[in-house]
């Protein structure tokens, strides 16, 4: 009898597996599906990035080193300086990652959170919890509610906390945190001796003003930032991101990562250099999300379904009547129930603006008649 790790055996199926099953059923019935479920961009990856990948494909690709190519670390540092005005040392303060997810998952192991708490706000991206559980940490959630602008109540961070995860712009609510929030959190981190892990996967998908980064606070010695090209450059399948943190943390990651083997392939790293150095394609991506948002917002408003937060990211966080997700599914429109992301998501529906503009227009017509 094969004995599976109890942490794995005890986990509920990743909620999106259930949405995928619903999608397959609809397709099998011949229903035309418009999928606002999973946050996987359908935007094309810019030709300059694809070209860079092809041009970098060697006759033989050796094992990539955990430290990554110096060119990529420099491109990431240059981007941090241009985008946030923060000088990060490419040598000692950056390590490339295989997208953000694996680095998020393993942080609790690297920092030894065993027996201490890993804290995050819910509704949430599920990986903070899973990483914490596999590391033997206690999971402690803080409700993110509208009355507090979807920011956690920092007074509720327990003693013996190892890591506090924050994710702004936030999946699923689209809320943005002001820099004062990060400053206050850093103050608590100093007092209570914990690390701030800031998942910044969505900082580049914004509509009015570019959101800040936790890197911008005065003392970032306790801050670990996770960045990725997945959403910024529509490169989910490439698997490319980076961690920016203190030399101590980066040294620990460089020691840990060769064992896991999660350095991005060098041809992906070379394409990533081009991606970080170009903002034109990111502006075009934002414009495409904005166009889709502009199609859906008026319909939702006319229906009286309030769109809350949703200032950035590719998500609309909508208060909709009970049974909305099921009624939409009957008409081929897939959206995520808010409670997929945690109990505080109840009563909300998340629309990921990933279908094409034409599909959004069709969905708007369906919504209108619902």
Ligand X SMILES: Cc1ncc(COP(=O)(O)O)c(C=O)c1O
Return residues touching ligand X (CB under 6 A).
Answer: 39, 99-101, 125, 167, 171, 199, 201, 228, 230, 236, 241
By C-beta, is 105 or 305 nearer to ligand X? 105
Cα separation, 105 vs 257, whole angstroms: 12
Tell the smallest beta-carbon distance from residue 267 to ligand X (Å): 18
SS3 47: helix
By C-beta, is 117 or 240 nearer to ligand X? 240
CA dihedral 71, 76, 77, 78 (to 10 degrees): 80
Place of tokens 């007074």: 155
Tell the smallest beta-carbon distance from residue 39 to ligand X (Å): 5
Tell the smallest beta-carbon distance from residue 209 to ligand X (Å): 20
By C-beta, is 313 or 367 nearer to ligand X? 313
Q: Do 65 and 71 meet the contact criterion of CB atoms below 8 Å apart?
A: no
Distance of CA 222 to the CA centre of its chain: 20
Tell the smallest beta-carbon distance from residue 275 to ligand X (Å): 12
**Phi and psi, residue 154, nearest 5°:** -70, -20
Tell the smallest beta-carbon distance from residue 171 to ligand X (Å): 4
Sign of CA dihedral 263, 264, 269, 275: negative
Exposure letters 322-337 (e unless 16+ CB within 10 A, then b): eebbeebbebbbbbbb
Neighbour-count burial of 12, counting CB atoms closer than 10 A to its CB (0-12 exposed, 13-18 middle, 19+ buried)? exposed
Tell the smallest beta-carbon distance from residue 31 to ligand X (Å): 26
Tell the smallest beta-carbon distance from residue 98 to ligand X (Å): 8
By C-beta, is 228 or 265 nearer to ligand X? 228
By C-beta, is 126 or 136 nearer to ligand X? 126
Q: What is the DSSP string of 309-348?
A: S-SBSSEEEEE--TTHHHHHHHTTEE-EEGGGG-GGGTTE
By C-beta, is 50 or 331 nearer to ligand X? 50
Q: Do 48 and 234 meet the contact criterion of CB atoms below 8 Å apart?
A: no
By C-beta, is 300 or 354 nearer to ligand X? 354
């Amino acid at each position: 009898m094969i004995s599976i790790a109890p942490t794995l055996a005890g986990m509920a199926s990743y909620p999106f597996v259930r949405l995928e099953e619903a999608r397959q059923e609809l397709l099998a019935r011949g229903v035309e599906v418009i999928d606002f479920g999973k946050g996987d961009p359908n935007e094309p990856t810019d030709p300059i990035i694809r070209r860079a990948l092809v041009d970098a494909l060697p006759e033989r690709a050796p094992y990539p080193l955990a430290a990554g190519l110096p060119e990529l670390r420099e491109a990431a540092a240059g981007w941090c300086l241009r985008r946030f005005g923060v000088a990060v040392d490419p040598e000692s303060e950056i390590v490339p990652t295989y997208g953000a997810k694996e680095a998020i998952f393993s942080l609790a192991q690297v920092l030894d959170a065993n027996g201490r708490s890993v804290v995050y706000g819910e509704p949430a991206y599920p990986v903070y919890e899973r990483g914490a559980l596999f590391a033997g940490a206690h999971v402690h959630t803080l409700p993110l509610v509208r009355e507090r602008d979807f920011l956690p109540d920092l007074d509720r961070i327990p003693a013996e906390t190892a890591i506090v995860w924050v994710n702004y712009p936030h999946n699923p609510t689209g809320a943005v945190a002001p820099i004062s929030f990060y400053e206050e959190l850093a103050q608590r981190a100093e007092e209570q001796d914990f690390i701030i892990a800031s998942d910044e996967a969505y900082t580049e998908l914004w509509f009015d003003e570019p959101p800040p980064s936790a890197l911008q606070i005065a003392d970032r010695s306790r801050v670990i930032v996770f960045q990725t090209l997945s959403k910024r450059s529509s490169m989910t399948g490439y698997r490319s991101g980076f961690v920016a943190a203190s030399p101590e943390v980066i040294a620990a990651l460089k020691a840990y990562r060769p064992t896991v083997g999660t350095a991005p392939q060098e041809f992906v790293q070379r394409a990533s250099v081009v991606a970080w150095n170009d903002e034109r394609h990111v502006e075009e991506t934002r414009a495409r999300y904005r166009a889709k948002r502009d199609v859906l917002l008026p319909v939702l408003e006319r229906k009286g379904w309030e769109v809350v937060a949703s200032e950035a990211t590719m998500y609309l966080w909508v208060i909709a009547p009970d049974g909305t997700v099921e009624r939409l599914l009957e008409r081929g429109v897939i959206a995520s129930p808010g409670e997929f992301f945690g109990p505080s998501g109840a009563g909300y529906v998340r629309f990921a603006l990933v279908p094409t503009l034409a599909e959004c227009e069709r969905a708007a017509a369906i919504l209108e008649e619902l």
